[in-house]
Structure 1
Amino acid sequence: MDLELRHLRIVRAVADAGSVSKAASLLGLAQPALTAQLKRIERVLGGALFERDRHGARPTRLGELVLARARVLLPAAQELQNEAVRFAHSPTPGFRIGATNGPILGGLVHRLAAERPVTTYTSWSSHELTAMAELGRLDYVLTDACGDSGLPTGTLLWETISLDPVFALVGETHPGAKEKELELADLADEQWAVTPADGCFTDCFAMACARAGFTPGTIYETDVATCGHLAQVGRAVVLCQATHQPAPGLVMVPFAGAPLRWRHLLGRHPSTPDGPWVVSQAKRAHAESVRRSPVYRDWLVRNPGFGTTTP
């Protein structure tokens, strides 16, 4: 006999009722039948699950172990059943999207939600999102990668949505704020701030600085709001995506020669039926974010080959 969820329900019922007789009454079974079933369960699990006397039934150490697992597995199985029923009776399945920090998610959700319901999950970790999609918990993953890295490996299908330069974000009183472009070497004495990310960006930044002839100073890894504050008070230069919309008091300035490049990627589970259409919507969402950035639009005129990828 293999252990089944109904066996775990019996163990839980005996523990909750405190006796086999009370559990039998709650389950609508005869006591001898429940006692025989409990003995078969104990044989499968290798030992007694309860100590039974005239005072009732108390879990043994093995019983406590089984109960602890049962109290996790039974609600999870019920949740799975409920979710499957809801999904089966839903007239149109929705889109489940996971995303890291980037300019595409808002526009993509707006576009997709006009067709079907959308649920989102955000994380700093592209590894976490990729694992969730591979397990079937997400349909699509919007993430980023250093411009010189390859596509992620694994079971997902990946598309490059855009190739963008990384710009500098500085306070409006910074000496470089009025420049059309900055050489990376011009900022050799600065401290830096960046939002968290998986992958090789830190190494790519260090290599770009080495090619420019210096070693970067302190690098603050923090959230978007804190990065902006550090730039406003002159504590750090922020490395930002070219589609970033600067807050008041901040200025975005390109680096000459685009020494740092950033790609937006869309991964999808192979079973998703609308993949090509969703990819096209993601590219349109990125193109919209480019149009909202006058600094990036002006830079693209002088630097073809970047921006939203073409089919």
Structure 2
Amino acid sequence: MDLELRHLKAVCAIAEAGSVTKAASSLGLAQPALTAQLHRIEHALGGSLFERDWRGARPTALGEVVLARARVLLPAVKGLQDEVTRLACIEGSLDHCRIGAINSPILGGLVHRFATDYPQAHVMTHTSWSVSELMDMIVAGRLDYALIGVCGTALPPSGQGVVWRSVGLDAVGVLLPEVHPLAARHAGEVELADLALTRWAATRGEGCFAECFATACARAGFAPHTIYETDVVSCLDLAQAGDAVVLCKPSLLPIPGLRALPFAGAPLRWRHLLGWHQESPAALLAERMTRYAVEAFDAAVGRNHPYAAWLEHQPGFGVAPAE
């Protein structure tokens, strides 16, 4: 049997998981299938790669040698694949634009502005809940740009040639039915403590937002009750039915029967970012795309007139200053 990259990936997965069973789960394989594959690999290499007992799987001396080489070879091959993909994009046409986003109120406006100026271009979009997934797609050349958000002052993932540019800063708020007593207030904001006894809903995400939300609630004197983590449509259903209040960016598209209000004092904030690879063809249009994104964010804020008026008294919020 000739050794293949998938075999080295399997060996690394077992070493990282410390267990064949856990490694099989992470690789999407049945445990007997991975065990059989490991036996074939060991037979091809002439010795055992792991000592296995009730405590798990630990590399043998031979296993350490194989792992040392695999941990150099696998990243090198991935780097080669990513570079070839980027070069293929550079040598190809620039008549397309691939944009990824995570529940962004900016995506529609960005696509509209790009398509208006480049009517011949084919625009493709990809939605995800994972910043890491979008970044990996940019690095691999499968996306040109990504619209993401980060909580507060948190930093986006760095390295691998990806550049991030600030678009704007939202004050995180809540989506309430228009008939909700708090939605009828004229202050244009909601005290977080006034929602202490409610159930919450939010779209799936990653990063520190969940911890920041819990911290903000603790400072307001309560611990949040049930939190539903679900998709956008289900969040809207829960809000319209009055079964939960939904954490949101008040710059989202207005929804009949619902009102998006910021929290008083802006205890939670969301920074919108646009990213691209600095060596990709996308970098040639990065300044223009950033301008589109800023204009789209400004227009999104303007759709919610009370929120736009509220932001005028919140220094630092709204569109990002030009860099």
Q: TM-score, normalised by structure 1?
A: 0.69
Which residue in the other structure is 2:255 paired with?
A: 247
The alpha-carbon distance between structure 1 residues 87 and 263, as it changes in their structure 2 partners (threshold 3 A), is closer
Q: Which residue number corresponds to residue 220 of structure 1?
A: 228
- RMSD value over aligned CA atoms? 2.5
Q: Which residue of 1 aligns with 2:305?
A: 294
Tell me what 2:315 maps to: 304
Match of 1:270 in 2: 278
1:210 corresponds to which residue?
218
- Paired with 2:313 and 2:112, the residues of 1 have a C-alpha distance of 31
Matched, 1:280 2:291: yes
Between the two proteins, the alignment pairs up a number of residues equal to 233
d(CA) in 2 for partners of 1:287, 1:234: 30
How far apart are the structure 1 equivalents of 2:98 and 2:257?
A: 36
Find the aligned partners of 1:281 and 1:118 in 2 and give their Cα distance.
14
For 1:182 and 1:278, locate their aligned partners in 2 and report how far apart those are by CA, in whole Å: 34
Judged with a 3 Å threshold, the aligned counterparts in structure 2 of structure 1 residues 136 and 87 are, in CA distance, closer, same or farther, namely closer
Partner of 1:131: 136
Aligned-residue offset at 1:295 = 2.3
Q: Contact 1:99/1:123 (CA < 8 Å) preserved in 2?
A: yes
Distance in 2 (alpha carbons) for counterparts of 1:232 and 1:172: 9
Aligned letter for 1:151? P
Q: Which amino acid aligns with 1:274?
A: L
Instruction: Indicate conservation of the 8 Å contact 1:252/1:295, yes or no.
Output: no
Distance 1:222 1:134 in 2: 28
Alignment match, 1:195:
203
**Alpha carbons of structure 1 residues 87 and 270: separation in structure 2 relative to 1, 3 Å:** closer
Deviation at 1:157, TM superposition (A): 0.6
The equivalent of 1:163 in structure 2 is 169
CA deviation after TM superposition for structure 1 residue 148, in Å: 2.8
| Structure 1: 5+ residue stretches without partners | 4-45, 47-76
**Match 1:175 to one of 176, 181, 190:** 181
In 1, Cα distance between equivalents of 2:96 and 2:275: 17
User: Which of the two has higher C-alpha Rg?
Assistant: 1
Change (3 A) 1:262 1:251: same
Residue type of the alignment partner of 2:320: T
> Using the alignment, how far apart are the partners of 1:157 and 1:174 within structure 2?
42
**Counterpart residue number, 1:234:** 242
Aligned position for 1:105 = 107
SS in 1 for 2:134: helix
Distance (whole Å) between structure 1 residues aligned to residue 137 and residue 290 of structure 2: 19
Secondary structure at the counterpart of residue 263 of structure 2: coil
Distance 2:123 2:319 in 1: 23
Residue 87 (structure 1) shift: 8.0
- How far apart are 1:136 and its partner, in Å? 1.7
Give the aligned partner of residue 120 of structure 1. Answer: 125
Mapping of 1:33-182 within 5 angstroms? 90=93, 92-113=94-115, 114-115=117-118, 116-155=121-160, 156-179=162-185, 180=187, 181-182=189-190
> For each residue in 1:179-216, what CA deviation from the matched residue of structure 2 results, as whole angstroms up to 9, or x when unmatched?
22221111111110111112111111001001111100
Q: Give per-residue Cα distances to partners, 1:10-60, cap 9 Å, x unaligned.
A: xxxxxxxxxxxxxxxxxxxxxxxxxxxxxxxxxxxx9xxxxxxxxxxxxxx
Aligned amino acid, residue 296 of structure 1:
Y
> Partner of 1:95: helix, strand, or coil?
strand
Distance 1:219 1:98, change over 3 A: same
Counterpart amino acid of residue 122 in structure 1: T
Q: What letter is aligned with 1:164?
A: D
CA deviations 1:92-116 (Å, max 9, x no partner) are 4422211111111111111112323
1:259–1:128: structure 2 CA closer, same or farther, 3 Å change rule? same
Equivalent-residue separation in structure 2 for 1:253 and 1:158 (angstroms)? 28
State which drifts further: 272-281 or 100-109: 272-281
Contact 1:127 1:198 in 2 (8 A): no
Identity %: 50
Moved over 4 A (4+): 86-89
Which whole-Å CA distance do the structure 1 matches of 2:314 and 2:102 have between them? 26
Contact 2:105 2:253 in 1 (8 A): no
Tell me the distance in 2 between the aligned counterparts of 1:189 and 1:206: 14
Q: Distance in 1 between matches of 2:98 and 2:241?
A: 39
**Mapped contact 2:261–2:307 kept (Cα < 8 A):** no
